[in-house]
Amino acid sequence: MNTSELMEVALKAGEILLCSGAEIYRVEDTISRICKNYGVDCESFVLPTGIFISTGGGKCESVSLIKRIRERSVDLHRIERINEFSRGLQKKTMSYEEAMKTLEDIQNTRQYNFITRLVAAGITAFVFTMLFKGNVKEASAALLISTLIYLINEKISGIGLFRIFELFVSGVIIGALSLLTVRIIPDLSIYKIIIGSVMILVPGVTITNGMRDALHGDINSSMLRLGEAVFVAAAVGGGVGFMLSIGLLWV
């Protein structure tokens, strides 16, 4: 594997990590680890929206690559598999074709199918509603709303709308369905239903990674992640609040 091909492999691994919600230091460490396994020193600079890697000097050819990251989600299984991939190269190196095929398999494979993720979204809402002292009826309502929201988000994400707009629409739908539920069954608490329903949209991993990046000295990345978390929370809260400000007039 020549230097150019090695850099492509390292960049691909970093891209998968960053798109799966990995911390900045983990992405940089993985890129560096992969290159060192082939006897090449490289420098990388990673932000939540892009990866910059470069190598050169000595007998190595100079290569610089940039990758723009436009979409990010949370997939801890992919992160685990990339970690195994990079550490496995310490024991046995791969050819360029083998490495790229392995990375493409990781990128295109999801640990759980859509139905499993849909059920998990509903259970999450149910559990959190009960945690906040809701009753079984309220938790069941949150389960149904959360399941529907996850389904809608999967469909909307394929259209290519702005992520913030998708979250705002999700907030509006949560508010509307919660109001409708309380309208049909008046003895339910609308606020407990909403709390359970929005849990699948809360940017918990983003906030955690932002704090971890700060602790590792990646201040720019930390501020970007925490800023993103604020916008996500504001979009969801704004959508719910907008619907409540209208709907509470007739509930």
Same domain, yes or no: 166 and 89: no
DSSP letter (8 states) at residue 215: H
Q: Bin 94: left if φ > 0, else alpha if -120 < ψ < 50, else beta.
A: beta
Q: Bin 59: left if φ > 0, else alpha if -120 < ψ < 50, else beta.
A: alpha
Same domain, yes or no: 160 and 212: yes
Q: Does the predicted model carry a pTM greater than 0.85?
A: no
Q: Compute the distance between CA of residue 239 and CA of residue 72 in angstroms, rounded to an integer.
A: 22
- From 244, 207, 248, select the one nearest 228 (Cα to Cα): 207
**N-to-C CA span, the chain:** 67
Instruction: Give CA angle at 16 (208, 29), nearest 5°.
Output: 65
Phi and psi, residue 63, nearest 5°: -135, 130
Same domain, yes or no: 122 and 233: yes
Same domain, yes or no: 104 and 129: no
Same domain, yes or no: 89 and 121: no
Same domain, yes or no: 168 and 201: yes
Q: Compute the distance between CA of residue 206 and CA of residue 141 in angstroms, rounded to an integer.
A: 27
Long-range pairs for 47-55: beta carbons < 8 A, 24 or more residues apart = 47/220, 47/221, 47/224, 48/18, 48/24, 48/72, 48/221, 48/224, 48/225, 48/228, 49/224, 51/11, 51/14, 51/15, 51/18, 51/27, 53/7, 53/10, 53/11, 53/14, 55/3, 55/7
Same domain, yes or no: 238 and 167: yes
Domain boundary among 81, 108, 135: 108
Same domain, yes or no: 84 and 127: no
Angle, helices 219-247 vs 163-184, to 10°: value is: 30
| Residue 69 belongs to domain spanning | 3-108
DSSP letter (8 states) at residue 60: E
Contact 160, 231 (CB under 8 A): no
Residue type, 91: K
Same domain, yes or no: 99 and 161: no
Same domain, yes or no: 135 and 193: yes
Residue type, 35: C
**Exposed / middle / buried, residue 30 (Cβ in 10 Å: 0-12, 13-18, 19+):** buried
Tell me what pLDDT residue 16 has.
Answer: 92
**Would you give per-residue pLDDT tens digits along the chain (251 residues)?**
788 888 899 999 999 999 888 888 889 999 998 988 888 888 888 888 889 998 875 566 778 888 898 888 888 889 999 999 988 888 888 888 888 999 999 888 877 788 888 899 899 999 999 998 888 999 999 999 999 998 888 877 766 667 888 889 889 999 899 988 988 888 888 889 999 999 988 888 888 888 888 888 878 888 888 888 899 889 999 999 888 888 765 44
Contact 119, 29 (CB under 8 A): no
Burial 140-167 (b: 16+ CB within 10 A, else e): bbbbbbbbbbbeebeebeeeeeebeebb
**How many domains are contained in the chain?**
2
Same domain, yes or no: 25 and 45: yes
CA distances from 67 to 3, 51, 127, 249 (A): 17, 5, 39, 49
Same domain, yes or no: 189 and 68: no
